[in-house]
């Protein structure tokens, strides 16, 4: 009985390997799971454009790889209502092309910013509410020492630690 058990186990294992191989190497035309890929033109390895737009099924722009108004490259994400909600990019050359990430609220105001800043390219996180700075954390651009400041609702600044 033990020999039949081992033989069944072994044949099941071999059958599983064979099935996996067949599924991986044999196409399934007409299954609809993956339509055949379009042939790629020989030598076409680079796509050059000033803007690439990703649209949803209804034709609305949901993301763009483009240049900002200031000239820095970025990846811009839009919600279903067409509002720019997320930006990932480089500031324009006038701002030293520092990298940034911006989260926008539904009113298109920056709600959170993560960026590099100053001569030492120190990281800074800015948290905002209704377009006003509320908390800034990062490394001082001059000394590279950490700091944390916050602003009250009336705009008064309080330093929790460090200098900015």
Q: What would the pLDDT profile of 62-71 be if each residue is shown by its tens digit?
A: 999 999 988 9
- For the chain, strand residue ranges (E) read 52-55, 61-67, 73-78, 84-90, 99-104, 110-117, 122-129, 132-139, 146-151, 157-161
Cα 103 to Cα 151: distance, rounded to the nearest angstrom: 19
Task: Return the domain boundaries, the chain.
Answer: 52-161
Assign domain 52-161 one CATH number from 3.90.930.1, 3.40.50.1240, 3.40.50.720, 3.30.70.1560. 3.90.930.1
pTM of the prediction?
Answer: 0.69
* pLDDT tier for residue 47 given thresholds of 50, 70 and 90: confident
Does pLDDT of 17 surpass 50? no
Cα 127 to Cα 88: distance, rounded to the nearest angstrom: 16
The DSSP 8-state label assigned to residue 34 in this structure reads S
């Amino acid at each position: 009985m033990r020999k039949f058990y081992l033989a069944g186990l072994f044949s099941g294992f071999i059958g599983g390997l064979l099935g996996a191989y067949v599924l991986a190497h044999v196409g399934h035309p007409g299954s609809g799971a993956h339509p055949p890929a379009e042939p790629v033109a020989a030598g076409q390895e680079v796509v050059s454009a000033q803007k690439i737009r990703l649209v949803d099924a209804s034709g609305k722009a949901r993301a763009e790889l483009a240049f900002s108004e200031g000239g820095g490259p970025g990846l811009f994400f839009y919600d279903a209502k067409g509002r720019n909600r997320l930006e990932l990019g480089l500031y324009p050359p006038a701002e030293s092309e520092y990298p940034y990430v911006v989260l926008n609220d539904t009113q298109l105001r920056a709600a959170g910013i993560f960026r590099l800043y100053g001569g030492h390219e120190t990281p800074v996180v800015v948290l905002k509410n209704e377009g006003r700075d509320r908390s800034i954390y990062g490394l001082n651009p001059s000394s590279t020492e950490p700091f944390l400041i916050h602003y009250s609702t009336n705009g008064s600044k309080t330093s929790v630690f460090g200098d900015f």
